[in-house]
Amino acid sequence: MKQALLILLKLGITTALLWMIFKEHRFTVTILPHLGAMVTNWQWTLAGLVSVGFSTWFGALRWQVLLKGQEIKVPGSDVLHVTVVSNFFNITSIGVVGGDAYRIIALMKRTQARKLPIMVSVMLDHMLGMVGLAILFLSCGYFFRHQLESYGAEVHAIVKGFSWFMGVSLTATILSAISFTPKLYNWGEKQWPNMLGWPPLKNFAQACDAIRRSWGCSLLAIGLSMLIFITHFLSFYFGIFAVGGKAPLLEIMAAMPIVDTAAGLPISVSGLGVREKTFETLVSAMTSVPEATAVSASLAGWMMSVVWGLFGGLLFIRGRRAATEDPISTLTPEV
């Protein structure tokens, strides 16, 4: 019942936001023609699709690096396949089961590996992704530190608030990495033996210590995270040109970390509505892009990701058919 209410809430928020945005900008009069221009400006649309493809590939490489840190050796083709299919669940899921859940289950079946190290690799995937996003945001924001006041009070407040969020996230990541070290954990276990002495928690901490133990993999994962976000953000930059607009690249790169984080909040379906409103507010203030064009570009960037998600869905259906024909492949590993 609770899950059903959460789903209904997400659907309600998404519907309300899109209705307000489409009503304000007259969907059939302004937004729909902009989206139709994606066919005419097919070169920019294609560039955006290629950017999303590279982002997915870099994402698979990052996960493979972190799996290596957990001493799980998986062929790159398998990791890429699972990553592409997980995009389908990311765009279609409105509940708690999404791409991460699929990645864990699918890799367990493919590798016969235990559940814990795979779960930890996915968790570290997000943690180090946040570090890469923070570095990218702070680097771009550095060039606009003197222009922030000129963007207006609303944008100024959003950027300042997000800067604090990035700072807190980086601090939390560093403290987490420190707390997983054996020396500190053993000290904590002596202080709180009933809690930290619990075997599953100890195993979890040991697995997470890979962020320090395999520091080379962690640094590489941070570098790949930056490439993931750069190529992902480029799809929205190309989306602006695809719908007939123009915008400077650096401003888009500075705004997109905030837009992407807002869209990732679990309050709407696939970030719809939240992404468009945030993109409209920031991009229109930081560039000369009209608000209706900004909304259209945001939808265009989302649609490019949907195309790859649907491709992942086709791979998933194909894999299910193959598993039906070969019952042995459907056996689940022992956790």
Mean pLDDT by 10 residues, the chain (335 residues): 76 91 91 95 98 97 94 92 93 70 90 88 93 90 78 86 90 87 86 83 87 91 96 97 94 93 87 93 90 96 96 89 53 40
Q: Is residue 234 part of a domain?
A: yes
Measuring CA to CA, which residue among 69, 181, 265 is closest to residue 273?
Answer: 265
The pLDDT assigned to 94 comes to 61
Its sign, for the CA torsion 105, 111, 113, 119, is negative
Its sign, for the CA torsion 60, 65, 71, 73, is positive
Q: What does the block give as tokens for 15?
A: 């519907």
253 vs 186: CA distance, rounded Å: 43
**Burial status of residue 48 (CB atoms within 10 A of its CB: 0-12, 13-18, 19 or more):** buried
Q: What does the block give as tokens for 257?
A: 């970390």
The pLDDT assigned to 333 comes to 42
Q: Is residue 4 part of a domain?
A: no
154 vs 277: CA distance, rounded Å: 13
Alpha-carbon distances of 282 from 44, 237, 252, rounded to whole Å? 22, 13, 9
Domain that residue 262 falls in:
45-328
125 vs 210: CA distance, rounded Å: 12
295 vs 290: CA distance, rounded Å: 9
The pLDDT assigned to 322 comes to 66
202 vs 322: CA distance, rounded Å: 39
The pLDDT assigned to 335 comes to 36
Q: Is residue 19 part of a domain?
A: no
Number of H helices, E strands in the chain: 15, 0
The pLDDT assigned to 331 comes to 40
Q: Is residue 134 part of a domain?
A: yes
159 vs 144: CA distance, rounded Å: 11
* Burial call 162-175: b when 16+ CB within 10 Å, e when fewer: bbeebeebbeebee
The pLDDT assigned to 325 comes to 57
Is 31:25 a contact under the CB 8 Å cutoff? yes
Q: Is residue 290 part of a domain?
A: yes
Q: Any idea what DSSP says for residue 28?
A: I
232 vs 94: CA distance, rounded Å: 22
The pLDDT assigned to 330 comes to 43
Q: Is residue 105 part of a domain?
A: yes
Q: Is residue 242 part of a domain?
A: yes
The pLDDT assigned to 329 comes to 44
Residue 112 φ/ψ region, left for φ over 0, alpha for ψ in the -120 to 50 degree band, beta for the rest: left
Helix, strand, coil % in the chain, rounded to nearest 5: 85, 0, 15
Is 297:243 a contact under the CB 8 Å cutoff? yes
Backbone φ and ψ of 116, nearest 5°: -60, -55
Query: Model's pTM, two decimal places?
Result: 0.89
Hunting for tokens 């700072």 — which residue is that?
Answer: 167
Alpha-carbon distances of 22 from 15, 29, 75, 264, 294, rounded to whole Å? 10, 10, 45, 21, 12
**Burial status of residue 188 (CB atoms within 10 A of its CB: 0-12, 13-18, 19 or more):** middle
132 vs 138: CA distance, rounded Å: 10
Number of domains in the chain: 1
The pLDDT assigned to 334 comes to 39
Q: Is residue 12 part of a domain?
A: no
